[in-house]
Structure formats: C-alpha cells, structure tokens
Structure 1
Amino acid sequence: MTDSGFTSEKERDALRAAHLYYMQDLTMEAIASELHTSRSSVSRLLGFARETGLVEIQVKNPVDRISSVQDRIRDRHGVTAHVVPVPDSTAEVDRLERVAMSTARILGPFFDSNMTMGIAWGSTISAVSRHLQEKVTHNSQIVQLNGAANTRTTGIGYASEIMSRFGTAYGAYVQQFPVPAFFDDPRTKEVLWRERSIRRVLEIQKHMDIALFGLGSAYADVPSHVYVGGYLDDADFEQLTHSAVVGDVATVFYRADGSSEDIPMNARSSGPSLALLKKVSRRVCVVSGRSKLPALHGALAAGVMTDLIIDEATAHSLLEG
C-alpha cells in the first residue's frame, strides 16, 4: 500500500469519482470532464467503488422511520399520528400545502354517508379545502363550528368558501353559522344562543361524528387567520397575554396546560367549548411548522384531538420537547 493509503491509482480515481458523484451531486458528464476521461470510465469507477467497499449504499424506508415517530407520539400523547414527510428545507407556505394535500387524502376514508363533520375555518383548513378529492356520500352534512364575522367584514365569503368546498367534494349539505367570531358582550351571545335558528346549528354541532380543525397561534410563521384578519384588537391581545394563552381551536383559547376556564375571551367566542369538542368521537387536528409547537403542546394537554396530521420535522420536534 502506498503512503496515501491506496493500493492503486484506480482506487484514488474511484474514490474521487464517488465523492464528486455522491457528495457533490455532479453528473457523470461533469465528473468525466474533471477527471479527463469518458462517461463510461466514470461509470466503471463508481461500480468499482461500490464493489470494493469504498462506497456503501443504504436504502432507508421512510415509511419505517415515520412509523416509528407515529408510534412514539401515540405512546406519549395517546393520539393517532399521521406524519407527512416534508424536507426540512421546504418553505413554511409550501410545507403547509404538502400537509394540507395529505390531510385531504387522509380525511376521505374518515367521512361517509349519514355523517356530520364540523369544520373550524382558518388558514390551515382553507388549504385543506383546496385539495379535497371528490367522494359521493348521502345524507351527510358539513357544519361550521364558529362564526366568522368581525367589525370589518361579515366573514361570510371567507368561511362559506371553505364550507362549500367540503360540501361540494362530499356531496354534503352545508350548515353555515352566520354569527360573529367574537361578541362584544357575552350577554349578547347568551341571548342569541336562545334563538331557535341558532339553537338548531348548535344542536347539529352536538351530534358531530368528526371535527376538523387547525390550531390558531399568534406566533405562527404562516399567520393564523383569527390573529391577522381583524378579529382581535390591542385590548384583546393584551387580555390573551394576561391569560397566558398559547393557542386556540375554533376561536376558543387555551393555556399551555390545556386549561381554558376563566379566559375572558372564551365567554365572547362563538366556537364550541373544548369540553363539547372532546365529546366528538373523531377529532382531527392539522398542524404544520415548528412555530405551532406551543399551541400543539397545549392542545395535546387539553385532550382535544384523537388524530394528529403533522409534518415530519414538527413531529420530531414534538418528541424532543
């Protein structure tokens, strides 16, 4: 063996070719040019590198890796996790779209005829609605979980577009909820909740088979609609900070320990209480991005979900926390 550690010039060339090919992603043509040889010679050098053990190639099944993460989340948090493989380098907006696309496909088998699905509007569920696959169902319905109106807009256009996409995809009847996201006075909500037209929607919500929602967060990289859409003013944000709020589900706020009691904003919210939500047999939460981790930890502590659809990087961070 020579001082360089190689027995032959062929080994040196093979190692160099392998490094250029596997570590620097050069094409065989580019390697051939750099080594002043032919493409076929580069191919033979790479084959020699594999045969002699200079290069070892491993094929790792991502399904196995993801399956392990899903099992660990189930064991630690008691929820069924659906982990979506997304490269770490993916931009947050694109990451959300990848998770939303997978959610739309996962959701299909969950929903069938004679079922009711509750939908909480928001940036995440809006993305999911754009990727839904058509499925014929009968006697099924989609019900809006929280109002969408605020002082700037009725919210009807935004919320109804999301609901309509679900209704169209599944051939389901859509039950809208034309009330404010937040009332100025809790007493106004109490009076309106006694109206028969509102009670009818509230009764449908009580008999949901599935609830689908994202997690609202004031600190998300992809802004949650409730925090940037004119629903909250400075006094509201101060109140949420004072209440140590980390996130919301359908505009119902909660703390890091999962508690939601005595948060003043919840008395004004049109969304279902977390206690009511927890009575739904299947509760599907969709999360994308590490910036949602505080909200996710709080939601898991609150026990609001049975199924979690999450990107792989965030899933790993969840287990590390």
Structure 2
Amino acid sequence: MATDSSKAKPTHSLTRRISRQDDAIIEATWAYYHDGLNQNDIAKRLGVSRASVVNYLTEARRREYVRITLDSEIFLNHELSERLKDAYGLTAALVVPSDPSSPAGSTERVARSTADWLPHLLEPGDRMGVAWGETIYRVAEMAPHLSIEDITVVQLVGSRAADLGFAAEVCSGTIARHFGAHCINLHVPLTVSNAELATQLRAEPDITEQLAAVADCNKVLFACGTVTDTSHIARTRILSLDSLEKHRQEGATGVICARLIDQDGTPIPTDIDDRMLGVTLEQMRNKEMGILVASGAARVPGARAAIKGGYVTHLATCSQTAQLLLEQET
C-alpha cells in the first residue's frame, strides 16, 4: 500500500543525518568565530568541502547562532558625529558609512547599526515609545535577541494597514519580543471617521490607560517621513494627495507619527488631527531621549526639521546624509 509522504514520520536515519548536520554547523561556527580557523582548515577538520563550510556558516547566521556587530563607539566618535553634535546640539550622533552601491543599502546599514545601538541606550525602568513605518520596521527586525530588565515598549500610534507588515503594532511588538520587554499596544485605529467618535474612544477606560502609557514614555524611537506623493503617509491614505499638496504649500516638510511639521518642526494642523488616535507632537517633544533614524537625501529636510523642533536627542544616520545635514547649517 502506498504511503502518504506528507504524513510520514522522519526515520531514525533521517533524524541522525539532521543531527549530524546541526553538529557540523555548530562546530564550523565555533571554529571560524572562536578558534579563528579559515574555511579551508575547517573543511579539513570536518572532512567536507570548503563549499559545505560556507553553507554551514551561512546557515548559522540565518538561524541567528551568530550575530555580527560592530562596536557603536566607532560610529559615535566619527568626525561627522562630532560635527553633527556641535551643529545641532545633539547628545549623540551615530554615523555609519554610506553604501556606495545604493541608497537602499545605506538605509539597511543605518537600520542595522540602530538595532545594535538600542540596547546600549536602554536602562531598567525605561518606557520606550516606538513609531511605525518601513525604517522602524527594519530596525525592529534587526534588533538583537537580548533580555533587558524592566523595559516597557509602547506603540505610539493606532493601527493602520501598511505595506509588508510595517504596521505600528508589528514594529512595537517585534522590538518587545526581541528584548524580552513588556509591550503596551494601542488597540484603536490610527484615524476614525469623525472627531466625536475619537473623543468617545479616548474616554474608554482601556484606551485611556493605553494613551496614558503613550504620553508617559521617557524615550521614543521614530523616523521622520517625507511629504511627497509617494510617501508613507500618502501610500497609507492617511492624507489624500490633494491634502498633501495643500499642506506642502503651507510649508509641510516632514511627518512624525502621521503628523505634519514645517521646516522648524512646528506642527502644521490638518483636518484629521482631531480624528487621530496616538501620540501628539507636543508629547513627542523634549523627551529624555528622542532617537531619530534617518538615511537618504530625501529624508534630510524632515530630519533637520525634527531636530530643530526639539524632537531629537540621538540621531542614527549615514555619512552622506550627515554631510547634507551639515551643509544645511553652513
């Protein structure tokens, strides 16, 4: 009688082969990263080809047996870091080398370095508010799996459907999971149909408590979005293209947590402000720590506006963006 292979249990021989492969992956990883052997030496030790060793090391990184990081201090003591701190009055600026091949590569580098930096910025008792969008999602995904004592992660804005899982609850939940932190989600939509409904929702006891946690964050992690027709705020239809054009004419330069700011960081009122559920710009200002993640020429006006407006104490960026920010101040 034929056997349904999809339901068949692994045989003992298959289990042994998997176990041997796992042992080989671990041995290759230890020999390479701890013993300092090269791939040819490891291949001889294990009796396999060099190509197999390359595959073992790749698999080890995929499984997160190994996490390669660079000391944040290298990028905090960069000449550009010091110049940014002096020019903008920042507490710290982390500047990584731009990727010469693509802006997307630079953004990936900045997200990775921010993820590695975050554990050094957090202390027991901290309540870190987390924004949303692609940049913050990248940081969340790359955050190391560490247990940080007595940390609370708070979702700063209500939920809104977003491309590729960039939704606010995903960003906050992912960082909380990686750091073993308590997570407070904001269980409401980002915008509702009218101001009266928003007021009623804010009065609900559970939501009142969640919004109090949003206001009470002592540290925040965010990006400042653009106001173009292809921006995150446009793609998620928070504001229509006509509204965006109108506000650009009024001086809109950047977006923080779905709220518009001008070149000085001053809020620009919109017709959805009273229908929005989440952190306000006033609540985002003058935090103990405001961590802005910014990479790319298109992000320079918004980043500069956010710094000018008092939302930023710590900046993570790339060398090209740093240069452009400094040119804006000369």
Q: What TM-score results when the alignment is normalised by the length of structure 1?
A: 0.72
Distance in 1 (alpha carbons) for counterparts of 2:98 and 2:160: 37
> Counterpart of 2:294 in structure 1: which amino acid?
V
Counterpart of 2:281? 274
Superposed, which structure 2 residues align to 1:61-72 within 5 Å? 67-72=78-83
Counterpart of 1:293? 300
| Contact 1:156 1:178 (C-alpha < 8 Å) held by counterparts | no
> Counterpart of 1:184 in structure 2: which amino acid?
S
Superposition deviation, residue 124 in structure 1: 0.6
| Contact 1:213 1:285 (C-alpha < 8 Å) held by counterparts | yes
Q: Of residues 201, 208, 215 in structure 2, which corresponds to 1:206?
A: 215
Counterpart of 2:152? 141
Q: 1:89 to 1:277 in 2, by over 3 A?
A: same
Counterpart of 2:168? 159
Superposed, which structure 2 residues align to 1:1-321 within 5 Å? 67-87=78-98, 89-149=100-160, 158-219=167-228, 224-260=231-267, 262-321=269-328
Distance in 2 (alpha carbons) for counterparts of 1:318 and 1:265: 31
Q: Which aligned runs of 4 or more in structure 1 are off by greater than 4 angstroms?
A: 63-66
Aligned-pair Cα RMSD in Å: 2.7
Counterpart of 1:49? none
Q: 1:239 to 1:199 in 2, by over 3 A?
A: farther
Q: What is the SS of the residue equivalent to 2:128?
A: strand
Distance in 2 (alpha carbons) for counterparts of 1:234 and 1:87: 31
Give the stretch that moved more between structures: 238-247 or 286-295.
238-247
Q: 1:91 to 1:64 in 2, by over 3 A?
A: closer
Superposition deviation, residue 134 in structure 1: 1.8
Superposition deviation, residue 157 in structure 1: 8.1
Superposition deviation, residue 137 in structure 1: 2.5
Q: What is the SS of the residue equivalent to 1:113?
A: coil
Distance in 1 (alpha carbons) for counterparts of 2:236 and 2:269: 25
Q: 1:250 to 1:262 in 2, by over 3 A?
A: closer
Give the stretch that moved more between structures: 86-95 or 103-112.
86-95
> Counterpart of 1:104 in structure 2: which amino acid?
A
Distance in 1 (alpha carbons) for counterparts of 2:171 and 2:227: 22
Q: Deviations over 1:208-238 (max 9, x none)?
A: 1210001111349xx6533323333234324
> Counterpart of 2:204 in structure 1: which amino acid?
E
Q: What is the SS of the residue equivalent to 1:193?
A: helix
Equivalent residues, number = 256
Unaligned runs of 5+ in 1: 1-62
Q: What is the SS of the residue equivalent to 1:245?
A: coil
| Contact 1:123 1:224 (C-alpha < 8 Å) held by counterparts | no
Distance in 1 (alpha carbons) for counterparts of 2:142 and 2:75: 26
| Contact 2:150 2:181 (C-alpha < 8 Å) held by counterparts | yes
Distance in 2 (alpha carbons) for counterparts of 1:205 and 1:213: 13
Superposition deviation, residue 177 in structure 1: 1.1
Distance in 1 (alpha carbons) for counterparts of 2:105 and 2:185: 29
| Contact 1:252 1:269 (C-alpha < 8 Å) held by counterparts | no
Distance in 2 (alpha carbons) for counterparts of 1:88 and 1:119: 26
Unaligned runs of 5+ in 2: 1-73
Q: Deviations over 1:175-225 (max 9, x none)?
A: 1112222333233222221221111011112221210001111349xx653
Q: 1:65 to 1:251 in 2, by over 3 A?
A: closer
Identity fraction in percent: 24
| Contact 1:255 1:298 (C-alpha < 8 Å) held by counterparts | yes
> Counterpart of 2:88 in structure 1: which amino acid?
H
Q: What is the SS of the residue equivalent to 2:287?
A: coil
